[in-house]
Homo-oligomer: A and B are copies of this chain.
Amino acid sequence: MRTTTARAHPNIALVKYWGKADEDLILPAAGSLSLTLDQFPTTTTVAPAPSAELDVLELDGRPADAGQTARISDFLDHVRTLAGRDERVIVRSRNSVPTGAGLASSASGFAALATAAAAAFDLDLSPRDLSRLARLGSGSACRSIAEGVAVWHAGDDASSFAEPVDAPDMRMIIVTVDRARKAVSSREAMRATAATSPFYSGWVSSTEDYLRQMLVACRAGDFTRIGEITESHALRMHGLIQSTVPPIRFLNPTSHAIFDAVAEAREQGIEAYSTADAGPNVAVIVRPSDAGALAGRLTAFGDVRVVGPGPGAHLCTEEGAAVPAAAVDAAAPVAVPASEPASEGGRA
């Protein structure tokens, strides 16, 4: 075993993932497609703790609670099973995305953790298998393994992974209207939808249709069609979620005002399309040449960041990101000094 650090970025789905075919294996009810971003990374270090009885998780410099630690530990069990080993580890993770506000920190989190943990346990996984592994932590994490635009295939445990798709260059304007933690988690809301919404079966079958159309549009480099599908599918997902019993609404009045402003910009010749995940923040895709002008307009609604297609999850070296071997026996959070380098390219 070795100490490793990996970094992964959030992804925003353009064809949404909402609903599982298998809760344990986290197999989606339908395929999806996303853009991995070049900002808001999660950086995660996994260090062996051979004498510890339990895994230890530190999030953003603070000890994690029991629930969070249990979820990480369950995920690490998959890694240990694959590796045929049983060592506990210390996991230190830093997010730069507001937790729980609809920007999918769980995607970058589990993508970084899967990448770091696989390397720490000396697993030599293909990108496909690393994506499958990340999926077991959080479904959408499998997409953050891939760079840029990625398709996540529905299927069984072996065939459900994400891989990159050729697509035209684009920018995404993220408008953060609320950094509060959501009242309902994606996981709970997704479960409620499948259990109570009369729209759910129509959602699943139509999402596969949309995904096929989206893949055609990506291959053709047809930004307009990509945008139309993106906005339409996002509104459809929020319509679906709103149909649960009791209803769940993730978009707030400001979110709706942003959808309106983007539609208005479109009428004025700035081609842009809105989407939103399970929270009030809105992400707008736009051609690179229009990104600056539109971002300026959208500052009226919240914090604005222009992002582009980002790298897939990767091992990295960074000052202060890794945990020195000397610290790994202490099964409690420690100060993080300058680091031992973690090798690059452990995915190969």
Contacts and interface: CB of A to CB of B under 8 A. Distances in A.
Contacts of A205: 198
Contacts of A206: 198
A231 interface: yes
Among A206, A239, A251, A254, max chain B CB count under 10 A is at: A239
A200 interface: yes
Interface in A288-306: none
Chain A, interface size category, equals: 20 to 34
B242 A252 contact: no
Nearest to A232: B247
Number of copies: 2
A266 B240 CA distance: 24
Interface stretch (A149-157, A161-169, A255-263): A255-263
A231 B253 CA distance: 17
A301 to B, nearest CB: 10
Interface string A190-224: 00000001111111011001000000000000000
Contact of A252 (B198, B228, B260): B260
Given A198-B203, A203-B198, A256 B260 contact: no
Contact of A239 (B231, B232, B238, B245): B238
12 contacts: A199-B199, A199-B203, A199-B236, A199-B239, A199-B243, A200-B202, A232-B246, A235-B249, A239-B239, A239-B243, A252-B256, A253-B254
Given A198-B202, A199-B202, 17 more contacts: A198-B199, A198-B205, A198-B209, A199-B243, A202-B202, A231-B247, A235-B247, A238-B242, A239-B239, A239-B240, A249-B259, A252-B256, A253-B253, A253-B254, A253-B256, A253-B257, A253-B260
